[in-house]
């Protein structure tokens, strides 16, 4: 099969690699659509994981073969499917606490480091094998491009599950990229009043089409003051920081009001410490937490809402490219103003 392989810093190529054969408890998926994630871009610009590497963890496709132990009442050839991509062991403390995203053993997986062979999630390839317990099927009317949003939507739902939004809450979303827009959409579904901080006008307008109540440009209005003014000096009930800048992370904490929840959704680059008013956190019972990857629960929720056609992610797709055009696709994805770029493997 063909795969888009990262062989060196900023160097990818299409290689012929062995098509995987499903083990008894696995299915073989013919990948159709594979979203390019910020993590893929970071790997491309200089991976901290072993090379060669096949990235791509936001993929969807069609089941083409089943291992002999796979339940044929559950799965069949021709079904559309996506995969939970964390190789959670199911046996460690965190897995047993329903925090598969924090699994102790996952970081030792060949997804990150492979002594001999290829590291990575393997979604930038024509085929992939998946343990059936990680396979989630979707109805035929859901496009492969939409289905490829299962993983990003699941990451955002994990973030929302931390936020415990109550109806009428003031929710601030910092950053209007694809993940920020998903936060807007899903916070609206939970009944919040949503305020987006985003410098790019097109992204602010896009958020409005998703029901965002208030948008502002943080380069024009001071973001902490703007949130204070918009909330009668109360501060936000929930702040989602989807940007990686530590200065913005500090502002996110300052926007959070009494009893509020501040969620660091994005990783922070460079990861410089920020200052936090611990006295305020104490006396106002604010919660500062993070959100990383999806849990099985949030992944299942994501597949559920996508399958029921409850969210429209089509406006988040900047462009789709045939995998042969991977260079063009990455070039587009790296530009800071693009939303989701998808590689197609037809």
Q: Which residues bind Zn ion (CB under 5 A)?
A: 37, 88-89, 92, 95, 103
Q: 244-247 long-range CB contacts below 8 Å, 24 or more apart?
A: 244/268, 244/269, 245/269, 246/270, 246/271, 246/272, 246/273, 246/274, 247/274
Q: Which is nearer to Zn ion, 107 or 258 (CB)?
A: 107
CB of 123 vs Zn ion, minimal distance in Å: 10
Round to whole Å and give the CA distance between 322 and 98.
37
CB of 301 vs Zn ion, minimal distance in Å: 16
CB of 58 vs Zn ion, minimal distance in Å: 5
CB of 148 vs Zn ion, minimal distance in Å: 10
Q: Which is nearer to Zn ion, 54 or 88 (CB)?
A: 88
User: 136 with 83: CB under 8 angstroms?
Assistant: yes
CB of 107 vs Zn ion, minimal distance in Å: 10
> What is the 8-class DSSP label of residue 119?
B
Q: Which is nearer to Zn ion, 76 or 267 (CB)?
A: 267
All residues at 6 or more sequence positions from 203 whose CB lies less than 8 Å from its CB, including other chains: 176, 177, 180, 181, 337
Q: Which is nearer to Zn ion, 37 or 302 (CB)?
A: 37
Q: 10-14 long-range CB contacts below 8 Å, 24 or more apart?
A: 10/44, 10/45, 10/46, 12/44, 12/326, 12/327, 12/330, 14/323, 14/324, 14/326
Q: Which is nearer to Zn ion, 95 or 186 (CB)?
A: 95
Q: Which is nearer to Zn ion, 158 or 231 (CB)?
A: 158
CB of 47 vs Zn ion, minimal distance in Å: 15
Q: Minimal CA–CA distance to 13: which of 124, 121, 111, 120?
A: 124
Query: For the chain, give me the number of helices (H) and strands (E)?
Result: 11, 15
């Amino acid at each position: 099969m063909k795969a888009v392989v990262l062989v060196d810093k900023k160097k990818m190529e299409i290689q012929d690699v062995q098509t995987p054969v499903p083990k008894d408890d696995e299915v073989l998926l013919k990948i159709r659509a594979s979203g390019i994630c910020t993590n893929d871009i970071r790997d491309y610009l200089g991976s901290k994981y072993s090379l060669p590497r096949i990235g791509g963890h936001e993929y969807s496709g069609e089941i083409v073969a089943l291992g002999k132990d796979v339940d044929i009442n559950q799965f069949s050839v021709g079904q559309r499917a996506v995969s939970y991509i964390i190789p959670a062991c199911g046996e460690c403390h965190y897995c047993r606490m329903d925090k598969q995203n924090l699994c102790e053993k996952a970081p030792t997986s060949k997804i990150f480091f492979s002594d001999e062979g290829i590291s990575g999630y393997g979604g930038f390839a024509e085929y992939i094998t998946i343990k059936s317990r990680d396979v989630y099927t979707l109805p035929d009317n859901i496009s492969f491009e939409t289905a490829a949003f299962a993983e990003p939507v699941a990451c955002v739902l994990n973030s929302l599950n931390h936020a415990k939004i109550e109806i009428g809450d003031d929710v601030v979303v910092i950053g209007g990229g694809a993940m920020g827009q998903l936060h807007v959409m899903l916070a609206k579904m939970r009944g919040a009043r949503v305020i987006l901080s985003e410098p790019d006008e097109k992204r602010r307008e896009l958020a409005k089409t998703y029901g965002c109540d208030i948008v502002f440009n943080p380069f024009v209005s001071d973001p902490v003051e703007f949130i204070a003014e918009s909330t009668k000096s109360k501060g936000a009930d929930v702040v989602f920081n989807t940007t990686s800048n530590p200065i913005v992370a500090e502002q996110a904490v300052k926007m959070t009001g009494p009893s509020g929840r501040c969620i660091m959704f994005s990783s922070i680059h460079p990861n410089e410490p920020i200052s936090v008013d611990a006295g305020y956190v104490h006396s106002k019972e604010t919660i500062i937490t993070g959100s990383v990857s999806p849990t099985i629960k949030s992944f299942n929720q994501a597949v559920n809402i996508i399958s029921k056609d409850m969210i429209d992610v089509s406006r988040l797709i900047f462009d789709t490219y045939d995998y042969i055009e991977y260079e063009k696709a990455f070039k587009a994805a790296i530009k800071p103003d693009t939303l989701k770029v998808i590689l197609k493997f037809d």
